[in-house]
């Protein structure tokens, strides 16, 4: 057990170092924060220049703030997790690093645990950056980070499977784009009622709704049960897919 933990710790240190050494991966991880700063500047100016006054302006500002926070959460998960896992694993396959680790008596489960932990940690850090870039209220930060973690878990499980299924970085790009688009669907829910209805059942749809409830101070009410159930259902589905495909994909590669 101690040997396993030491190997996972060593792998995690390597994966964190690779995250900072790889300019593409590091830049993509910073992009959500940059987008939040840009969105806040654009949407803040739009709200300030409107004809709304008094209570209407306050409600509009709150709606924009909730949208920015939700977008930051979705972008953090959608950009960081696939980049760290799908691209990261595919890159190690191309460089034969993954095969070398396997030959050095490092288990596939240890590699997956290390990379999953690094992806979750990076997502939390970027999520916190997006929170402050979006101008979130400090009191909302614990709930925001918790929801970011809950939303990242199913995406992490799915991305691990897709990373192991990727033969190279070109294949990784093919797999990561649908994951990103699916994760970002909740941010387009304001476009129409149909998109909003579909967004509620996507991997981050439940978390997005829970964040809105948290911003309204209703996270611990009965209204949170349905979006929480959606999030747990995606987590269970991701766990089933990971358990069913992990051993075969790891063995084939």
Q: What is the mean pLDDT of residues 237-252?
A: 75
Distance CA(238)–CA(241), nearest Å, equals 5
- Sorted by sequence, the CB contacts under 8 Å of residue 102 that are 6+ apart come out as 108
**Taking the CB of residue 173, how many other CB atoms lie within 10 A of it?**
14
Please state the domain extents for the chain: 2-252
What is the residue whose two structure tokens read 């930060």? 141
**What DSSP string runs through 186-200?**
GGGGGG-HHHHHHHT
pLDDT score recorded for residue 252: 45
- pLDDT of the residue at 167: 81
How much of the chain, in percent, has pLDDT values that exceed 70? 87
- Are the C-beta atoms of 249 and 108 separated by less than 8 Å? no
112 or 150, which is more confident: 150
Cα(124)–Cα(19) distance, integer angstroms: 14
Q: Provide the pLDDT for residue 228.
A: 94
Whether the Cβ atoms of residue 213 and residue 232 lie closer than 8 Å to each other:
no
From its phi and psi, is residue 217 left (phi > 0), alpha (psi between -120 and 50) or beta? left
Reported as a single tens digit per residue, the pLDDT across 42-83 is 876 555 555 556 666 667 677 888 899 999 999 999 999 998
DSSP letters, 13-28, are: HHHHHHHHH-HHHHHH
**pLDDT at site 46:** 57
Mean pLDDT of 130-159: 93
Q: What rounded mean pLDDT belongs to the chain?
A: 85
* H or E segment to which residue 183 belongs: helix 169-184
Q: What is the pLDDT of residue 1?
A: 61
Q: State the pLDDT at residue 169.
A: 80
């Amino acid at each position: 057990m101690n040997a396993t933990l030491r190997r996972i710790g060593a792998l995690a240190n390597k994966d964190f170092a690779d995250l900072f050494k790889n300019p593409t991966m590091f830049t993509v991880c910073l992009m959500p924060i940059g987008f939040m700063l840009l969105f806040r500047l654009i949407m803040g100016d739009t709200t300030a220049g409107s004809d709304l006054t008094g209570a209407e302006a306050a409600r509009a500002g709150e709606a924009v703030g909730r949208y920015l926070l939700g977008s930051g959460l979705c972008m953090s998960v959608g950009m960081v997790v696939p980049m760290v896992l799908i691209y990261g694993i595919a890159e190690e396959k191309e460089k034969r690093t993954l095969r070398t680790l396997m030959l050095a008596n490092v288990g596939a489960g240890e590699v997956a645990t290390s990379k999953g932990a690094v992806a979750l940690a990076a997502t939390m850090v970027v999520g916190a950056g997006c929170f402050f870039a979006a101008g979130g209220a400090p009191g909302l930060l614990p709930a925001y980070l918790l929801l970011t973690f809950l939303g990242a878990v199913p995406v992490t499980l799915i991305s691990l499977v897709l990373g192991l299924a990727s033969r190279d970085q070109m294949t990784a790009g093919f797999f990561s784009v649908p994951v990103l688009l699916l994760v970002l669907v909740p941010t387009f829910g304001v476009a129409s009622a149909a998109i909003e209805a579909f967004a509620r059942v996507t991997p981050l749809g439940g978390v997005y709704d829970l964040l809105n409830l948290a911003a309204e101070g209703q996270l611990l009410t009965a209204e949170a049960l349905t979006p929480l159930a959606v999030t747990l259902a995606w987590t269970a589905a991701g766990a089933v897919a990971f358990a069913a495909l992990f051993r075969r994909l790891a063995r084939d590669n």
